[in-house]
Amino acid sequence: MPSSSSEGSDRLESLPPPPPVVPANVVPIKVELPMAAEPFKETSFPKRVPMARRDFGTKGQKLSLLTNHFKVSMHKTDGYFYHYSVALSYEDGHPVDAKGIGRKVIEKAKEIYSNDFDNKKYAYDGEKSLFTYGPLRQNILELPVVLETPSSNRASGRGSPGGGEITNESERKRFRRPFQSKTYNVKISYAAKIPMQAIMDAIRGGQESERFQEGVRVLDIILRQNAATKGCLLVRQSFFHDDPHNFTDLGGGVLGCRGFHSSFRATQGGLSLNMDVSTTMIVQPGPVAEFLLMNQKVNDLHRIDWIKAKRTLKNLRIRVNNNEYKITGLSDEPCKRQKFSLKQRNGDGETNVVETTVYDYYANHKQIYLRNSADFPCINVGKPKHPTFFPLELCVLVSLQRYTKALSNLQRASLVEKSRQKPQERIKVLANAFKISEYDKDKMLCSSGISISSEFTQVEGRVLPAPRLRVGNGDNFFPRNGRWNFNNKKFVEPVTIENWAVVNFSARCDIRGLVNNLMKCGEMKGITVNPPEQAFEENPRLRHESPPVRVQEMFKIMMSGLTKRPLFILCILPERKNSEIYGPWKKKNLVDLGIVTQCIAPTRVNDQYITNVLLKINAKLGGINSKLAVEHLPSLPVVSEKPTLILGMDVSHGSPGRSDVPSVAAVVSSRGWPLISRYRASVRTQSPKVEMIASLFEPVSVTNDKGITKIVDNGIIRELLIEFYESSGRKPEQIIIFRDGVSESQFNQVLNIEFNQIIEACNFLDDKWSPKFTIIVAQKNHHTKFFQAGGAPENVPPGTVIDSKVCHPKNNDFYLCAQAGMIGTSRPTHYHVLHDELGFSANDMQELVHSLSYVYQRSTTAISVVAPICYAHLAAAQMAQFIKFEEILDKNPSDDITSAGAVPVQELPRLENRVKNSMFFC
């Protein structure tokens, strides 16, 4: 180790002393900086922007590819888009808050006042912005618009089913009219003009201006409007047609709906249209009663959980008698007992108010005899103080309504399975999507001089050679097609598994056979697996207890049967996915006791399964399965030259619709430079749905029992820097940061918020120490795909890199498909080098990223994104299990929480010292 040298000793002495131990009875208080009590000043940083590309990569075998980008031609670069703000109000002046009505109102206004619109085509976003090519005649238009909408047949009746019935014949005739009129006031005001030239300047390599972003936004709005006129469901820039051929059943009343994504992008080859297949989840249209039976997986409405049903149905749209309504809730009483006040006029013109039930109303006044609604709540489409009820069996869910709840594991697996498309199939689907979109006939695009080619763009890729890997006995080899195995190979750094135990929560596992297989297979891989101290079976009577109780009782049994604390526990779970025992078990081991544990749920045990389990166990106990040969030499460009810390950063958020669940931020860091195959993690919670990591630098004021107050840094970065120093014997001179999960609109926040925190943490640790930084963002959620030219049915080969034609015209980015795509169409990872003080060439950067896809210790394949990011995601997901989020949900119903950061954040417990530096997440 470098720490044994004299140079290492000198550097050890230069490290500041560790922070003082915080007494158990002292609660740290977060400091508002700057503080007069301490000579520490918040550093001022210049505003950073993403760096420009320095050069292009040249390594690798060239390969002709097609991509799902379509070239855009601009024939009127001297023109302008004019931006107008739109304000819609009712006759009484109150603003229109109903969603979806805006397009109908503006369409009617254009029809009535075509001269005021100067017969121009427009693009309207459905809310507050309207764009034209060229100006309107006036800067301000105020236009009254009368819109006829289908009548809801409502009359005055409190709690009435669709309104109280009026029995007078003349009144009855009046309410037979199919339409009712409503007047809207439309105000269109000039806001700005956007030069087409700004788009051209940006795609020629100039700085992207706000005008460029606005120009592309206008073009994207044109695409949305094109889809809206065809009756599509719009989800940002993805469009879904109401075509049953595009639906696939996921179970539980949920359908997968296939559509397509369409957006404009600036590339080195000019402006292009990026089209891709897209999938969203929708509620299965049809009778509400049938949906509830499917959703709750019961066969009788009497078994429906109506509290859960109310949450599920809220805000969904239904159709009753050809009229459409939005569900606001359910009635408190069943249909046969739910009363409302019915106003009636007798023959003398007098009004009488009578109490009747919804059931009797339909039987006596509508002559509709309800068969399946009497015993169940009614659907409420009214307001809290003025409910409007409909019997369940009359309500039909309309099509194309998004399902925004979290999918179950089975639904998610079904969605992935049914969404897969081979490369050539996807090309055909996209070509058809382009055809039916009819962009060549879009009047707004035509009037602004924009045309789109129907041909897939040809690009040149390069296939990087796989890095050479090192395994046990000094053997080196090259993976083939992004894959390898450990047949006749040993782990490069195997561990000895001793002083360990087995616990079994499953009733169907052969423990003796499993242990024998582990010992036999471990010997072949170089791991010495001693016999376990003991195997413990769960008492069958405890299987109906809560998971924490089951875990606690198991530990009582285990500790009474062992003479010393085990170093490792193999835990056999009853379910393969989503076992409720997993979270409490992991927390008990990693937080309370500091014991490394591996959970399994074997269904079919063979050599491959046992090998995969051993890969995880070996990494968790401190071993390395395989590593890059250049780590051993060491000869990795840039990284091996000076002490280098590699960080992987990710933030995991709660499921859709769960804005009460804290987000979990994880940062993993490399250990033992010059290695880049071993990592540890630091994980914290933060406000829900907040993407920027808040705890990288976290100065707190600590007062000890003598009353002395001192500021210490309680943040993630200091923790990782100290550990790197302890494992490497050197302070890092270079820090490479891989950041996952941020969009292009958040790049400046990464550079000017998170990066500033990291620098502050370094300065706080040692103000005379200035490491150099490189920041790379990895994006998986994008819509660019690559296909082999010439109609080859296979995916692009692993190691395919593209840094030209469809990449950014100025910024430093590239696409890499490191993995072997065995099924479906491979999704490349889009890497953006935002900041680089280390001076990477394009070749060296692409080689580093490619190499980091081969050091993932859990598998024997190249993975689609660099290992540090995968590890950060795993660490966040595992430690999120430690918090009982169900309790938070009970206290803070998600229906009442809509904004990010609205919930008090529950802190994660810290890992016990004996496991905090381990790859527990592996």
The per-residue pLDDT for range 171-192, each reduced to its tens digit, is: 344 344 445 688 999 999 999 9
- Smallest CA-to-CA distance from 778 within 827, 837, 823, 730 is with 827
Give residue for tokens 């992935």: 416
Give the whole-angstrom CA distance, residue 477 versus residue 468.
6
- Residues 194/214, Cβ–Cβ less than 8 Å: yes
Tell me the mean pLDDT in the region 325-345: 90
pLDDT top residue among 907 and 346:
907
Report the DSSP pairing between strands 568-572 and 500-504. parallel
Distances (CA, A) of 725 to 1, 645, 732, 813: 12, 10, 8, 31
pLDDT digits (tens, 9 = 90+) for 779-789: 999 999 999 99
Tell me the mean pLDDT in the region 668-687: 96
Confidence band of 154 (pLDDT split at 50, 70, 90) = very low
- Smallest CA-to-CA distance from 379 within 371, 388, 370 is with 388
pLDDT top residue among 200 and 801:
801
- Smallest CA-to-CA distance from 157 within 357, 327, 2 is with 357
Tell me the mean pLDDT in the region 555-583: 89
Confidence band of 6 (pLDDT split at 50, 70, 90) = very low
Tell me the mean pLDDT in the region 406-410: 84
Distances (CA, A) of 855 to 453, 466, 851, 863, 872: 41, 12, 7, 9, 14
pLDDT top residue among 884 and 286:
286
What whole-number percentage of the chain has pLDDT above 90?
Answer: 70
pLDDT over 70 at 17, yes or no: no
Confidence band of 657 (pLDDT split at 50, 70, 90) = low
Tell me the mean pLDDT in the region 496-504: 96
| Low-confidence winner among 74-78, 270-274, 638-642 (lowest mean pLDDT) | 74-78
Tell me the mean pLDDT in the region 70-89: 92
pLDDT over 60 at 4, yes or no: no
Q: What percent of the residues of the chain are helix, what percent strand, and what percent coil, each to the nearest 5?
A: 30, 30, 45
Give the whole-angstrom CA distance, residue 266 versus residue 795.
25
What is the pTM assigned to this prediction?
0.87
Q: Which pLDDT value is given to residue 409? A: 81
- Residues 666/686, Cβ–Cβ less than 8 Å: no
Tell me the mean pLDDT in the region 29-35: 46
Sheet of strand 568-572: strand arrangement: 534-537, 500-504, 568-572, 596-600
pLDDT over 90 at 348, yes or no: no
- Residues 854/466, Cβ–Cβ less than 8 Å: yes
pLDDT digits (tens, 9 = 90+) for 578-604: 788 999 999 999 999 999 999 999 888
pLDDT over 90 at 533, yes or no: yes
- Residues 220/274, Cβ–Cβ less than 8 Å: no
pLDDT over 80 at 737, yes or no: yes
Give the chain's mean pLDDT: 88
Q: Which pLDDT value is given to residue 5? A: 41
pLDDT over 50 at 279, yes or no: yes
Distances (CA, A) of 37 to 41, 74, 404: 11, 61, 49
pLDDT digits (tens, 9 = 90+) for 763-800: 999 999 999 999 999 999 999 999 999 888 999 999 99
Confidence band of 153 (pLDDT split at 50, 70, 90) = very low
Distances (CA, A) of 98 to 127, 282, 684: 10, 21, 40
Q: Which pLDDT value is given to residue 185? A: 94
Confidence band of 634 (pLDDT split at 50, 70, 90) = confident
- Residues 429/756, Cβ–Cβ less than 8 Å: no
